[in-house]
Amino acid sequence: MAEATIPTFMRGKDKIMSLSDAVKTFVKKGTCICPGGFSYTKKPFALAREVIRQDIKDLFVTMNGGASICEFWAAAGLVKLLDTTYIGLEGIQPVAYSVRRSIQDGTIDVEDYSNYGYGLRTVAGRYGWPFSPCMSEFGTSFMDNDTFAKMGLRGKKADGSWIHPSIPPARAAVIEDPFDGWGLRPHAFEGGDGTSNQTNALEKVRESTAYTGKQGVKVILVPPILPEVTIILAQRVGNKGTTRIEGILGPDAEQAISAKYCIAQAEKIVTEEELRAQPYSNTIAMQYVDAIVEVPYGGFPGQVPYYYDYDWDFWRAYTQINRKDKAEVNKYIRDWVMEDEWTFLTTRPGDGYPTITGTKGLQRLFELRADATYGYKPGLARPL
Amino acid sequence: MSVIRQSDPKGWTHVNDDEYEAYCKEKGVDPEKYTTMELLAIAAARQTYDFSFIFAGTGLPMIGCMMAQHTYAPNALIIMEAGILDPKLLEVPISVSEARGGYMCSTLSNMADTFGTFAQRGFCTFGMLGGAECDKYGNLNSTAMGGYYSKSARDDGKTGPAVRFAGSGGANNIASYADMGLAMMVQEKRRFPEVNEYVTSCTGSRGPLNTPEDRWHMGLFRGSGTTIVSDLCIFRSSPETGELEMSEIYPGVDEQLVIDNVSWSLKKAKDFKPFEAPKHEEIKIARMVCDPHRIYLGRKTKRELAAEK
């Protein structure tokens, strides 16, 4: 095997990289990229900002768990394809406006899954399975719509290669359960009085002829996700790649392990020994992490459990800004990220939007530190 | 099944009356009068019962499940899809994946695991959701209106859907696995069509009961019907037909207003009754315990804004 084709980690090279080098090495025009984290929590915003600084266009974003990063990228006009489950910003803005506008005006093409449907795709991706079984999504419009198929992005080319290496040949498939629903009624949960599960309609499902034309229990199969790059944020990453995520995992581990490459943005790079003293608490095995970048507070304006809280005031202001004219929003977001992360973190927190205390830059970040008992900042003022 | 509800306010989370009065003064709210969002939170909490499993979606359900935990269902287990099981909510989360939502939970795992270990296995009594559109059989649309497809997949020359919503998130899965749907929505005629253009989540029977169009005949092995808590009334699935019927009506709301704000010919449930007005204790808890910053409760519906004018 030629040395050049051997992955970086197997050549014993240092995985620790600068933010700009990590993005330059792994993210290219048109890359299928999977941002980790969930809505406001543990989002690798420093990496996301660097993608904007390097102006990497035509991204194919595949994601589960909230659209905050995708919102910034869409605002900067960098997204072309979207394979997703949810494009909202939850409690602060029900639909992320830049993403919404770009889908409505034809800038972004989108394929939809449900969270569990997509989550099962990440499970298949993690374990290298050809598919996962899913008992949800039956009876809905998910089953009747397939954007990527209509765009001709599924299947193989004449030369036998995949039309798009990160798009599976089918959105989903329905088969008859070869085990006749046996696994769907575990003995302890037959339904009704005395158990948690109140309903079990398996007998009615057995009469079903939907999707396959034959009577019996059906199962939806979903394909794995195979992104080229996943970006995640972890509180601590060992110098060889062992990763520990504290607090809510969301989709991070599965998405990181499914990808060809994973860039881990760390609050702190630590020695492997520090994490290997309690290996049962570690989240991602070392060989799945290809690049490590250390950016303390790089999750700003989001929340990193046990480290710092989200900047509520920023999001409140941003969700007004992103409703402005498209060109204006694009300019805003490109200015906002500044020339590098240090300049950003020392300047932008508390800058250009009102905060109750009036603090800015590092002082503002310091103010958002989490309380160790709660993992967030109790009593953080969150006015609407 | 015997249902347990902590109906005695003495068992609820305590709120000091003096502090409440000071709070109302500070926020400029009437201590006795409830707003629409407060009513929605209270009405949703009343549907739940103790020791149940409440799988809560994002948005209004955050405040609904928190309200339930501090009143009628103190031992109900809340599930949030990012990996949270049975948190003790001290501050209202703005996301189903934030540290506020995970405080003192039993386990904290990942997204696929939450749906698998809890929902698929049957630990999902109530699926609490919000939605943009709700049809006659309790199907919710939270994806798109004016054609689903984006530009490159469309045949009509348009650039994309007329209105794009957030998409399913976990809503589809929560609705698919829940024993009972429980959705909170603002009621407008255009948001309550006879048939949804796009079905994101089947919270109710999906189609007429005992036909190939019902949820079970489409392959879903759970569910028994849904309760839709709107800002005018409470709808429930008819046990005979699966259609949504007017089941309870809020104080001061005219029946005709409810009828005028759905697109099908609405029937009244056999056990139709008036909804008991929110209690003082409930309003206190909604405000001071669940959402003191009024992140959700401070929002106003179009109807409220029109009434103010």
Cβ A77 vs Cβ A70: under 8 Å: no
Tell me whether B109 touches chain A (CB under 8 Å).
yes
State the CATH architecture for B9-139+165-308: 3-Layer(aba) Sandwich (3.40)
Query: Model's pTM, two decimal places?
Result: 0.95
pLDDT of residue A13: 73
Instruction: Find the residue in B nearest to A196 (Cα).
Output: B123
**Phi and psi (nearest 5°) for A363?**
-65, -40
- Residue B252 CA to residue B272 CA, distance in Å, equals 16
Closest CB from A112, A247, A370 relative to B167: A112
Determine the distance in angstroms separating the CA of A25 from the nearest CA of chain B, rounded to an integer: 29
Q: Looking at beta carbons, which residues of chain A come within 8 Å of B97?
A: 38-41, 65-66, 248, 250
Which residues of B, range 42-71, sit inside 8 Å of A by Cβ? Answer: 53, 58-59, 62
Q: Does pLDDT of A3 surpass 60?
A: no
Q: Which residues of chain B have pLDDT under 70?
A: 1
Ordered by start, the domain boundaries in chain B are: 9-139+165-308
* B170 shares contact with chain A (CB less than 8 Å): yes
- The confidence score (pLDDT) of residue A255 equals 97
Task: Report the pLDDT averaged over residues A306-324.
Answer: 97
> What element of type H or E holds B282?
helix B280-284
pLDDT for position B158: 97
Return the CA Rg of chain A: 22
The closest CB to that of B216, out of A205, A303, A374, belongs to A205
Contacts of A182 in chain B (CB under 8 A): none
A and B: number of Cβ contacts within 8 A: 304
B194 vs A182 pLDDT, higher one:
B194
CB-based contact B203:B181 (threshold 8 Å): yes
**A281 touching B (Cβ < 8 Å):** no
CB B273 within 8 A of CB B248: yes
The two three-digit tokens of residue B85, written as one number: 């099981």
The pLDDT confidence band at residue A7, using thresholds 50, 70 and 90, is: low
- Report the 3 state secondary structure along chain A: CCHHHCCHHHHCCCCECCHHHHHHHHCCCCCEEEECCECCECCCHHHHHHHHHCCCCCEEEECCCCCHHHHHHHHCCCEEEEEECCCCCCCCCCCCHHHHHHHHCCCCEEEECCHHHHHHHHHHHHHCCCCEEECCCCCCHHHHCCHHHHCCCCCECCCCCECCCCCCCCCCEEEECCCCCHHHCCCCCCCCCCCCCCCCCHHHHHCCCCCCCCCCCEEEEECCCCCCEEEEEEEEEECCCCEECCCCCECHHHHHHHCCEEEEEEEEEECHHHHHCCHHHCCECHHHCCEEEECCCCCCCCEECCCECCCHHHHHHHHHHCCCCHHHHHHHHHHHCCCCHHHHHHHCCCCCCCCCCCCCHHHHHHHCECCCCCCCCCCCCCCC
Q: How confident is the model at residue A183 (pLDDT cuts 50, 70, 90)?
A: confident
Q: Do the bridges between strand B84-85 and strand B77-80 make them parallel or antiparallel, or are there none, so unpaired? A: antiparallel
Contact between B224 and A147 using a beta-carbon 8 Å cutoff? no
Q: Is the per-residue pLDDT at A23 higher than 60?
A: yes
Q: Would you state the structure tokens that stand for residue B237, as one six-digit string? A: 């699935």
Q: Categorize the per-residue pLDDT at A10 as very low, low, confident or very high, splitting at 50, 70 and 90.
A: low
Distances in Å between the alpha carbon of A355 and those of A128, A296, A337, B151? 47, 22, 19, 40
Mutate to test the interface with A, among B63, B80, B107, B172 (most CBs of A within 10 A): B172
The DSSP code for B234 is E
B28 or A11, greater pLDDT? B28
Closest CA to B255 of B268, B244, B264, B265: B268
Of B132, B135, B158, B155, which Cα lies nearest the Cα of B145? Answer: B132
Question: What average pLDDT does the segment A43-66 reach?
Answer: 96
Those of residues 96-125 in A touching chain B at CB distance below 8 A are: 96, 100, 103-106, 108-110, 112-117, 119-120, 122-123
Q: Which residue in B52, B131, B66, B136 sits closest to B100, CA to CA?
A: B66
Q: How far apart are CA A302 and CA A69, in angstroms?
A: 10
- The C-alpha atoms of residue A304 and residue A71 are separated, in whole angstroms, by 19
For the stretch A328-361, pLDDT in tens is 999 999 999 999 999 999 999 999 999 988 999 9
Q: Any chain B CB within 8 A of the CB of A287?
A: no
The string of DSSP letters for B184-227 reads E----GGGS-SS-SS-SEE-S-SSSTTSTTSTTTTT------EE
pLDDT tens readout for residues A118-136: 999 999 999 999 999 999 9
Give the Cα-Cα-Cα angle A84, A86, A91 (nearest 5 degrees). 155
CB contact under 8 A, A204 and B163: no
Q: Which range is least confidently modeled, A8-17, A203-212, B40-49, B85-94?
A: A8-17
CA distance A95 to chain B (A): 5
Q: How many CA atoms lie within 13 A of A96 on its CB side?
A: 25
DSSP category for residue B230: -
Rounded Cα distance between A265 and A291, Å, is 8
C-alpha distances out from residue A92 to A68, B44, B59, B209, Å:
11, 21, 9, 38
Q: Any chain B CB within 8 A of the CB of A363?
A: no
Dihedrals φ, ψ of B264, to 5°?
A: -115, 170
Say how far apart CA A173 and CA B128 lie, in whole Å.
28
Does residue A217 contact residue A180 with C-beta atoms inside 8 Å? yes
Would you state the pLDDT for residue A1?
Answer: 47
Cα distances (Å, whole numbers) of residue A55 to A48, A77, B45 = 11, 9, 47
pLDDT value of position B157: 95
- Give the pLDDT mean for A257-283: 97
Question: How close is the nearest chain B Cα to the Cα of A153, in Å?
Answer: 11
Report d(CA A359, CA B119) in Å as an integer: 44
Instruction: Give B-chain residues touching A196 at CB under 8 angstroms.
Output: 53, 122-123, 125
Residue A8 falls in which region: left (phi positive, over 0), alpha (psi -120 to 50) or beta: alpha
Token pair, residue A70, equals 């995708």
The two three-digit tokens of residue B87, written as one number: 């948190």
Q: Give the distance from residue B255's alpha carbon to the nearest chain A alpha carbon, in angstroms.
A: 30
Q: Which domains does chain A have, with CATH numbers?
A: 8-130+224-384 (3.40.1080.10), 132-153+163-183+197-223 (no CATH)
Q: Residue A269: which of A296, A232, A303 has the closest Cα?
A: A296
This complex has an ipTM of 0.95
* A136-176 per-position pLDDT tens digit: 999 999 999 999 999 999 999 999 999 999 999 999 999 99
Instruction: With CB atoms and an 8 Å threshold, state whether B173 touches A184.
Output: no
Higher per-residue pLDDT: A120 or A191:
A120
CB atoms within 10 A of CB A383: 11
With H, G, I as helix, E, B as strand and everything else as coil, classify residue B274: strand
Residue A2 is predicted with a pLDDT of 53
Backbone angles phi, psi at A219, to 5 degrees: -135, 135
Chain B CB within 8 Å of residue A169 CB: no
Chain B CA closest to residue A193: B1
Sequence length of chain B is 309
**Facing residue for A41 by CB, picked from B90, B95, B212:** B95
Q: Do B166 and A94 touch (CB under 8 A)?
A: yes
B125 close contact with A: CB closer than 8 A? yes
